[in-house]
Structure 1
Amino acid sequence: MTTTQDHTEIALLVSRFFRALDERKFEEGWARAFVTDDVRTVTPIGLAEGAAAVRHTEEAIRRFARTQHVSADVLVDADAASGSATASWNAHMTHVHHPATLERRGPGADPLFTVGGRYDAELRRTDDGWRISRLSVEAIWTTGQPPVLPEGVEPVLPR
């Protein structure tokens, strides 16, 4: 049974995680406040696990000059006895392209790439509180152009 405290702690974890992405303070160990060491992420540009998932997240954010991630409707199902939980939330993610990207794309290039999506997560209670152990994001809609990706990487956009 989900307690109000568990729901509040997990919703705050989501908000702090999104804020950390937007503030881009990726000092060594920054992700330990949000994810387990064995975290697994599934995003529109791939699957990653552990430290690679953290690097993947940092690289994705750095593809843009600025970002703003907004979460809403966090739904939590927690089992305090087992120390596990699931959560899902809606997200509105605005990404501002780097000037070099806009220059490469030419006059009239849209400076924004905006995504409406849904996150699903599995969490574990650790000695330091709830941490995300599995995280997936599904893009439901987009506007603008996605970032310039490394050769061979294709984004999975909504159908």
Structure 2
Amino acid sequence: MPTHSGPDGPADRAAVSELLDRYLADFDSLPERPGDDDRYRSLFTEDLVLTFPVGGHRGLPGLDAFQRAAKARWGRTQHLSSNHVVELDRDTALLTAQLLVTHVHRAAAPPLPHFTAGSRVRARAVRTEQGWRLGELSVELIWTAGQPPR
């Protein structure tokens, strides 16, 4: 596995940051796309560890079902991440970011106000033969507003 430093730093930081953006965009696109655990191989290591306020998951097997179950609680979601900071140490990287999420309830009478949350993301990425992959991703809830799911 090649080790990079110096001039590749900006490209490595961008690649690690993009992993989070791609993951969040993928989640927001559920359930429109077909189910498939393999699609996550371009984002995560085989032994990934996910930790969220609503639960967690380990490994690629069953990840798509885990994601779909989390998304099924909502009619729509929109994840906006910002302030990505990537610290490189040869073939590992630590990523922190801020996350603002809007959760739109499924149709209800009377309509429920959207549930929004502000969170902090922490992730660890490793450089693999195929490129950077997230091995750990955690979301720490900072604040919420609106109606949580029933």
- String of CA shifts for 1:1-26, please: whole Å, max 9, x gaps: 67111111111111111111111235
Aligned partner of residue 64 in structure 1, secondary structure: coil
Give the match for residue 4 of structure 1.
10
Shift of 1:46: 2.1
Superposition CA RMSD, Å: 1.8
- String of CA shifts for 1:8-67, please: whole Å, max 9, x gaps: 111111111111111123531221121111111111122321134553233112211111
Cα distance in structure 2, aligned partners of 1:58 and 1:34? 17
Q: 1:71 aligns with which of 43, 62, 81?
A: 81
Q: 2:106 aligns with which of 94, 98, 105?
A: 98
Flag as ranges the 4+ runs of structure 1 deviating above 6 A: none
Unaligned runs of 5+ in 1: 149-159
TM-score by length of 2: 0.84
Give the match for residue 142 of structure 2.
140
TM-score by length of 1: 0.79
Cα distance in structure 1, aligned partners of 2:77 and 2:51? 19
Give the 3 Å change call, closer, same or farther, for CA 114–26 of structure 1 in structure 2. Answer: farther
Cα distance in structure 2, aligned partners of 1:145 and 1:26? 29
Give the match for residue 44 of structure 1.
53
Cα distance in structure 1, aligned partners of 2:43 and 2:149? 25
Give the match for residue 93 of structure 2.
85
Cα distance in structure 1, aligned partners of 2:70 and 2:11? 32
Cα distance in structure 1, aligned partners of 2:15 and 2:130? 11
Cα distance in structure 2, aligned partners of 1:30 and 1:86? 23
The count of corresponding residues between Structure 1 and Structure 2 is: 140
Q: Give runs of aligned pairs for residues 8-23 of structure 1, distance below 5 A.
A: 8-23=14-29
Give the match for residue 109 of structure 1.
112
Shift of 1:124: 1.1
Cα distance in structure 2, aligned partners of 1:143 and 1:77? 31
Cα distance in structure 2, aligned partners of 1:109 and 1:69? 19
Instruction: Look up the equivalent residue of 2:112 and give its one-letter code.
Output: A
Cα distance in structure 1, aligned partners of 2:137 and 2:119? 13
On the 8 A contact 1:94/1:113 being kept in 2, the answer is: yes
On the 8 A contact 1:26/1:58 being kept in 2, the answer is: no
Query: Quick one: percent identity of the two aligned structures?
Result: 33
